[in-house]
Amino acid sequence: MTRRHDPERRQRIIDAAIRVVGRGGIAGLSHRSAAAEADVPLGSTTYHFKTLDELLVAALRQTNEGFAKAVAARRTLMDPRTDLAAELAALIGEWLAGERTGVELEYELYLAALRRPALRPVAAEWCEEVTELLSRRTDPVTARALVALMDGICLQVLLTGGPYDEEYAREMMARIVPGA
């Protein structure tokens, strides 16, 4: 029997895992649920991802790209003439105002690293990537503090269901940015 060539199968499984977690949380993800969602045989998920943690790592890596890409794409963040705190506060507002399920999913996978050590390096990659991007505009210590503050603000909004207060975020970030 000839094996069918399906070069996008691995990506379809990752996308399916993200949808499964988005609907029912990490507890609802299994090789079986990912296979059913991707419409592939169960053996395909275990072929591409030997463990569930491997699948979660791939899903986290893909979802983590969202905010880092938004930071990288926002050219005004790197312009020394712009107010860094105001730009970051606006960016967070746009991100939180977007597809809320995607934002929640990104944080759910990110926080899963607390209990799943295999996810920790990927969670750290996100922090390092955004810190590196912001370090182009400020020093690395300030960049790391900004990432921690943005993370905290986003978590508070997501966990409380409260509205995002852009002015508060701008003011808090301005307290961290030298000369703001």
Q: How many helices (H) and strands (E) would you count in the chain? A: 9, 0
Average of pLDDT values for 17-43?
Answer: 92
Cβ neighbours, 10 Å, residue 81:
5
- Over residues 66-122, the pLDDT tens digits come to 777 888 888 888 888 999 999 999 999 998 987 777 788 888 888 888 898 988 998
Residue 72 buriedness (CB in 10 A; 0-12 / 13-18 / 19+) = middle
- Over residues 122-164, the pLDDT tens digits come to 888 888 989 999 999 999 999 999 999 999 999 999 999 889 9
* pLDDT recorded at residue 1: 42
Q: Tell me the helix, strand and coil percentages in the chain, rounded to 5.
A: 80, 0, 20
* pLDDT recorded at residue 84: 95
* pLDDT recorded at residue 4: 63
Average of pLDDT values for 50-61?
Answer: 90
Give the DSSP letter of residue 162: P
Cut 0.85: pTM above it: no
- 171-174 contacts: CB < 8 A, separation 24 or more? 171/85, 173/84, 173/85, 173/88, 173/89, 173/146, 173/149, 174/83, 174/85, 174/86
Cβ neighbours, 10 Å, residue 7:
6
Place domain 8-50 in its CATH homologous superfamily: Homeodomain-like (1.10.10.60)
> For residues 147 and 25, what is the distance between their CA atoms, to the nearest angstrom?
25
* pLDDT recorded at residue 5: 66
* pLDDT recorded at residue 100: 75
> For residues 159 and 44, what is the distance between their CA atoms, to the nearest angstrom?
35
* pLDDT recorded at residue 103: 83
Residue 3, pLDDT above cutoff 60: no
Q: Are 108 and 64 in contact (CB under 8 A)?
A: no
Where do the domains of the chain lie? 8-50, 60-176
* pLDDT recorded at residue 106: 82
Pick one of 3.40.470.10, 3.60.15.10, 2.30.140.10, 1.10.357.10 as the CATH number of 60-176: 1.10.357.10
> Cα separations (Å) of 140 from 30, 51, 144, 148?
39, 35, 6, 12
Query: Could you tell me the two tokens for 175?
Result: 């307290």
